[in-house]
Every structure is written in C-alpha cells, then in structure tokens.
C-alpha cells in the first residue's frame, strides 16, 4: 500500500548515530532519507558528512594525539642507539593536511555507504514545519519540503561560546583547531574537560606553549584521584595551569590576543597575550534552530530532547538518539548502537536496547586515562564506603626504563563491591595505550567480572595490562608502588 509520506523514515543529522540508523533501517526495504548540514563556526569553519566525531572530534583528536606521542618518543632515540641527531622541527601545515586528507576520505566513504544502502542524502539544513513535515534548505537558500512517517533527530551538540566580550570575535573552539591555517603557537585553552586536556597535551607535544585556565577542577565527573594524578603529569610535562581563574574579556593587539582574566580566589585581575585562545567550556543543544517547538516534543532544561528507554519522545513517531538526547553519554559509540538498535526495533522486530552501564572511555592526554564503570566517589555514594574495596598499583612499564631519568609511572585502580562477590564496579588506568586495555576490561565488566577472576587470570608478561592480574594492595593499606618485574 502506497504511503502518504515521501519517506518511511527520515533522519536529521549525519553523525555516527544518524548514519547507523539510516543504514540499518534500509536493510528492511523501507524508504529512508537523511539530511545533514553544518552551520559554519563563527570563524567560518565547516566540514563534511560524518558528524562531530569524524570531522572535529574523535578522529582528528586521536591522530593529533598519536602524532604528539611519536614526537615525545624522540627523546628515547639516543638511548636505543640511534646515531644521528633528530631534526625536531615541527610543521603544522604538513600534519594538518594529512589529518584533513584522512577525514575527507571518511566523508567520501560515508556518502558512498548511504548511496550503497539506497538512502537519499540531502546536504541541506532540516527544519520542522510540523511533526511529519520537514523543510530542507541548501547553502544557496533554495528550499524544498518533504514528509515522513517516522523521524529520528540525531543533530548532536555544538561548542559553547562564553558570554564574554571578544569571545566570538577572537577565540576558536574544537570546531576550528584541526583546520587552523597557521600554527596555533602560544595557546590558552579555557576549560578543564577532556577536550581541553587533550588539546593542551598534543599542542605541548608539538612544542607549543600551552596553558589551561581552570575555573574549578579538571575532568569533572571522572575519578578525582585519577584526575589529580593526571594533572600532576601534565604540570610536570610543562603544561601551565591558571587555577580558579575565569576570562573577563578578549581583545586584539596586532596578531596577538589579549586575555584579561580574574582569579576568583583573590579577585586579582591580570592580562596575558596569546597567539590562539581555544574555548573548551562545554557543548550544548539548540533544538530551536530546527523549530522543534512546532512538533510538541518535550525538552529538558538542558535543551536536550527527553526520550524513554526506547529513544522515543512524547510524540509517538519522533525519536532522538546520541548527544541530543537527555541523559545519554556524549560519545559516538553509544550513539551508533542506539541508532542501529532503534532502526532494528522499528522495522526488524527486534527488542534490544543499549546498555548504558560500563561504557568505557579514554582521555587521550600526555598519559592516557582509561575509565570504565564508577569513580571511587560514585561507588562510595552508591554502595557505601564500608561496602567497597579499592585495589591499586603504581609501576613503571618496561618500555619506559630506557629513560632512567623518567620519574613517571603508570597507575591502576580497581574498585570492587565486596557485598557482590567482589564484582568489579570501577576500573581506572593511567598508562600508554590505556584505551586499548580499557576496551577489553569493559567487555569483562559487562560479563560480571570479579576480583577473583582477575586474580585467576594469567597475564601476558611483560605488559602494562598484566598488572591488573597481580594487584594485591588495598588503597589505604599501602602505596601500591611495585618494584621488580
């Protein structure tokens, strides 16, 4: 029977979640459309299909992190017998071109996947006319209207600009950093999120002066002990911190940006010049731009869309996935799962929903911080201090011993619920390759990992990951520092 709508399913947003939903839905023989349009940042930066993760998030960030780690390892070269002096001159333009070249190939790949799956793609801005009708506008202002039986909103978030004079005129965000035409030079990063920490880390690795302006604490929401250890490493690596400070204004002096800032503890006002100021003060939803009000969809105070466990809004045929959904983690992998599972439920008769517990993540800083499950603070709050036990270990991996002057160490913290057969409820690690290690741990935790199972596991020697199979020291009963192999 012919539908009265142009599409059975239309998706607004071409990020990881939207693309996953479109490709999965197309398997069931329905007519699928997808619209994606990137409004330029105040600096004029825009990008192609694939969303934040592919274009201005996970992918370029990880490439920059890896490049920085290679640069950091140059100090080991003389220690392993490399006979030549290493040329440490860094070229921002070369790195930028290589990063953007890879991203362009991913943009092309996404378009090809949609075409292969017979998904109609619109590089146009989507805006609701009513709950089934969407107006599409291209970059030249030409408009057309389509209708759809069901609609998925997957528009993600965009960076917050501070309400401070000069912020939009002179500052950049993570939307811009990976496409800068010239090297960032001396950089001030305002914020203390994982984005701020990661950007400061790779910029410092490239030899640039990097300063973090922190209003309160770094990595809010992460384990405090781990965040403080990471901050110590960053400071030792030469990243500067302006603690308890907030910007007052930004202005220009020739090519330099002057940041006037206030210390909230003593009220002191200071000024400093920078080549680049990067705002990393959070991301926000702006559903008003897509005129969501006309649909009757309920929004949270945050501006995000309220959904149930099945990603459905209060309007039966409208759904939301990914960062734009209230209460969901702001990460690409759960958005991909949500998009795929939602389409399978709508058209494939499936019932699976995303398990949002034990979603692992990693901060790609000078030393990586991998995390899965509860922080120590959250574990105490949920189960009570008397019902948890924290094991920890501080150690130096074999590969770091080439540099005898290196005082850094890796650190692992494992939190268990002693009332539930010592089930692992929190995992935290500061180390090289922390992301790779933590991904495996998240699988084990979702299978009910216990401390006994870790103890019974034979490790791979000598690896960083092996350490989790030999941890015996309880926090508070010893410092966990390991000697020997």
Q: Which residues are known to be catalytic? A: 461
C-beta separation of 31 from 8 below 8 A = yes
Torsion sign, CA atoms 72, 200, 42, 107: positive
Burial state string for 50-87 with b = 16 or more CB within 10 A and e = fewer than 16:
bbbbbbbbbbbbbbbbebbbebbeeeeeeeeeeeeeee
Q: Which of 445, 463, 462 is nearest to 454 (CA)?
A: 445
For 390, phi then psi, to 5°, come to -115, 120
- Residue-wise DSSP of 182-242: S---SEEEE--SHHHHHHHHHHHHTT--EEEEESS-SSTTS-HHHHHHHHHHHHHTT-EEE
Helices 16-26 and 332-347: crossing angle in degrees, nearest 10, is 30
**How many angstroms separate the Cα of 426 from the Cα of each of 71, 368, 371, 391?**
32, 17, 8, 10
C-beta separation of 248 from 237 below 8 A = no
């Amino acid at each position: 029977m012919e539908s009265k709508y142009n599409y059975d399913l239309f998706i607004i947003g071409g990020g990881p979640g939207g693309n996953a939903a479109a490709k999965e839905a197309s398997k069931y023989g329905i007519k699928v459309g997808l619209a994606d349009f990137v409004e330029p940042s105040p600096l004029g930066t825009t990008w192609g299909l694939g969303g934040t993760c592919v274009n201005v998030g996970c992918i370029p960030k990880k490439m920059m992190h890896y490049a920085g780690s290679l640069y950091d390892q140059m100090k080991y070269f003389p220690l392993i017998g490399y006979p030549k002096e290493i040329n440490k001159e860094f070229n921002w333009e070369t790195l930028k071109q290589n990063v953007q070249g890879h991203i362009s190939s991913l943009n092309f790949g996404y378009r090809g996947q949609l075409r292969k799956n017979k998904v109609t793609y619109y590089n146009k801005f989507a805006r609701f006319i009513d709950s089934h009708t969407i107006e599409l506008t291209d970059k030249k202002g030409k408009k057309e209207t389509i209708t759809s039986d069901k609609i998925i909103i997957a528009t993600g978030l965009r960076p917050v600009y501070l309400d401070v004079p000069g912020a939009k005129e002179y500052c950049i965000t993570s939307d811009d950093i990976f496409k800068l035409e010239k090297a960032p030079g001396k950089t001030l990063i305002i914020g203390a999120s994982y984005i701020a920490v990661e950007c400061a880390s790779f910029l410092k690795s490239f030899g640039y002066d990097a300063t973090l302006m922190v209003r309160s604490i770094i990595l809010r929401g992460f384990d405090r002990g781990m965040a403080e250890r990471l901050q110590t490493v960053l400071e030792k690596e030469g990243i500067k911190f302006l603690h308890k400070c907030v910007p007052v204004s930004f202005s220009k002096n020739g090519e330099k940006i002057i940041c006037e800032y206030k210390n909230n503890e003593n009220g002191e006002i200071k000024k400093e010049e920078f080549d680049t100021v990067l705002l990393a003060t959070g991301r926000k939803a702006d559903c008003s731009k897509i005129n969501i009000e006309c649909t009757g969809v309920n929004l949270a105070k945050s501006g995000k869309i309220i959904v149930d466990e099945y990603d459905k809004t209060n309007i039966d045929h409208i759904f939301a996935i990914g960062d734009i959904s209230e209460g969901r983690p702001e990460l690409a992998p759960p958005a991909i799962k949500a998009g795929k599972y939602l389409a399978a439920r709508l058209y494939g008769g499936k019932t699976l929903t995303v398990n949002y517990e034990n979603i692992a993540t990693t901060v790609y800083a000078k030393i990586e911080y991998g995390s899965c499950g509860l922080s120590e603070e959250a574990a105490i709050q949920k189960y009570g201090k008397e019902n948890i036990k924290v094991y920890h270990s501080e150690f130096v991996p074999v590969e770091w011993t080439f540099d005898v002057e290196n005082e850094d160490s890796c650190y692992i913290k494992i939190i268990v619920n002693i009332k539930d057969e010592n089930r692992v409820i929190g995992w935290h690690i500061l180390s090289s390759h922390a992301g790779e290690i933590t991904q495996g741990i998240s699988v084990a935790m979702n299978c009910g990992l216990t401390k006994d199972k870790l103890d019974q596991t034979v490790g791979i020697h000598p690896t960083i990951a092996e350490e989790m199979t030999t941890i015996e020291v309880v926090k508070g009963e010893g410092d966990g520092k390991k000697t020997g192999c």
